[in-house]
A and B are shown apart, each in its own frame.
Chain A
Amino acid sequence: MRLPGFDHFVPGTIREACDLLRDHKDKAKVTAGGTDLLVRMKQKLLTPAFLVNLKGIPEFEYISEDQGGGLRIGALTRLRIIEGSSLIKDKFSLLAQAAGRVATLQIRNVATVGGNLCLDSRCWYYNQSHFWRKSRPLCYKRGGDLCHVVKGGDRCYALCQADTAPVLMALGARVKVMSFEGERVIALKDFFTGEGRGVNVLQPHEILTEIQVPFLPSFSGGVYLKDSARDVIDFPILGVGVVLTLESGNGLCGEVKIVLGAVSSAPIEVGKAEKVLKGEKLTEGLIEEAARVASKEVRPFTQMGIPASYKRRMVEVFTKRALREAWRLARRS
């Protein structure tokens, strides 16, 4: 598959990049690692006339400590760097885990954390070559009026399969977004729309530039678990990001965040499952109960070869395992 033609710009600063997007509006796309965009261009899902290559702006690759008590991560930081960073492994080991579970080593050497967060939703009927797709009527994501996955469905049900998304949401991260109009900071949970078509609130002229993650209190533990067909390469069938904090003194469960990826068009925080644990004395039985509640809280569809019943069962299994591990780490910390 050959890429379609385009004009290629390499801005030296983010300001230049923002100006280019302002000038070319929705005819331009940014590329960071390019490992997702180029595939979709080969499949002719996207044919931007202009590519704004952010690789020429190394000032957006950094992991630095923030005075306010957290980390600031440049959006262009490569996943391989996040995976291996001793600072991230120390403060947010689940983020290093999630980054390390993305695709393959070759992709992580080039792909960026910002790109992973901005990953478009995926579906077997959408992420295919032009040749494959042309024999089927257009679905919602392609601007048509039906969904191939959910017969009679009212909207696009493509899934958010970014590995770092549930983890960063569980960590309460915020993202900084820049454009020629200025900058804004958005809580990650507000960044995702929940829609299969138009997965995040980024406008075509905006660029995600930074991820801000507040430090966790003492007695916190977090983990990312991923269910996938193979240990490498594959997108998640299910991703579970759990962050758990024990109250100092009495050891009761304080704050807990359980965020599921790849069950919906956005990462889903299972609040009802969290409520089972908050303020309670943790036991194996209570964790199993929370996992059960989580599995009932989600509404998976049968898609991408995975039956909904399997996905629901795996929500229970992986939530349970993740809570156990997060609890173990919280006690040890």
Chain B
Amino acid sequence: MKQLIELDVNGEVYELAVEPRRTLLEVLRENLGLTGAKEGCDMGECGTCTVLMEGRPVLSCLILAVESQGKEILTIEGLAKVGQLSALQQSFIDHGAIQCGFCTPGIILTAKAFLDENPHPGKEEVKRAIGGNLCRCTGYVKIIEAILAVAQE
């Protein structure tokens, strides 16, 4: 049976009627049209569904929508101020860190949360920080460079 819930996503509060079995990923994509979070493996092994919950990267495919109430959720769509990409997003473009783009929303959000806590990391720390986000295209080198470039500033 559907439950009436309130989700705080990208600063807006949405009122939704969803069944308990809907994951946060499904609701973000199908109810809210926020398709930045991706369904890669749907079982917690790839990181493409990563969103920030209370500033922390979590896997939306393994979180129920009904248990996401009262928690600030940030998706990739919430990152860019109107018309302007965030520093990380621009850095990814500038460094050629995006090929197919499937992993990009998840990695950028993970990187943002990481840099928020560690503004000046070393390369090894960056590598460890994005360990939960797989990329099949780039081989990670440009991604790490893009993140480090933002960190230097």
Binding site for B on A (CB under 8 A): 1-8, 10, 34-35, 38-39, 42-43, 51, 53, 55, 80, 103-107, 109-110, 231-233
Contacts and interface: CB of A to CB of B under 8 A. Distances in A.
Given A104-B131, A232-B128, 8 more contacts: A6-B21, A7-B1, A7-B20, A35-B44, A38-B44, A103-B132, A107-B59, A231-B131
A43 B41 CA distance: 12
B67 A53 contact: yes
Contact of A34 (B56, B57, B64): B64
A110 B50 CA distance: 12
Interface of B: 1, 3, 19-23, 26, 42-45, 47, 50, 53, 56-59, 62-64, 66-67, 110, 128-129, 131-132
A108 to B, nearest CB: 9
B47 A106 contact: yes
A38 B21 CA distance: 10
A107 B44 contact: yes
5 contacts: A2-B26, A5-B21, A106-B50, A109-B56, A233-B45
B44 to A, nearest CB: 6
Q: Is the interface of B mostly helix, strand, loop or mixed?
A: mixed
A105 B132 contact: yes
Contact of B132 (A5, A6, A51, A233): A233
Q: Is the interface of A mostly helix, strand, loop or mixed?
A: loop
A43 B62 CA distance: 13
Contact of B59 (A42, A55, A106): A106
Residue of A4, A7, A38, A53 with highest tally of chain B CB at under 10 A? A38
A104 B62 contact: no
B122 to A, nearest CB: 16
A7 B50 CA distance: 26
Contacts of A35: 44, 59, 62
A216 to B, nearest CB: 28
Nearest to A108: B132
B144 to A, nearest CB: 15
Pairs A-B, 9 closest by C-beta atoms = A104-B132, A232-B131, A8-B20, A3-B21, A109-B56, A39-B43, A106-B132, A106-B59, A106-B57
Contacts of B20: 5-8, 51
A5 B129 CA distance: 35
A4 B129 CA distance: 33
A193 to B, nearest CB: 26
A10 B62 CA distance: 17
A313 B129 CA distance: 31
Contacts of A7: 1, 20
A55 B19 CA distance: 18
Given A8-B3, A10-B67, A105 B21 contact: no
Nearest to B131: A232
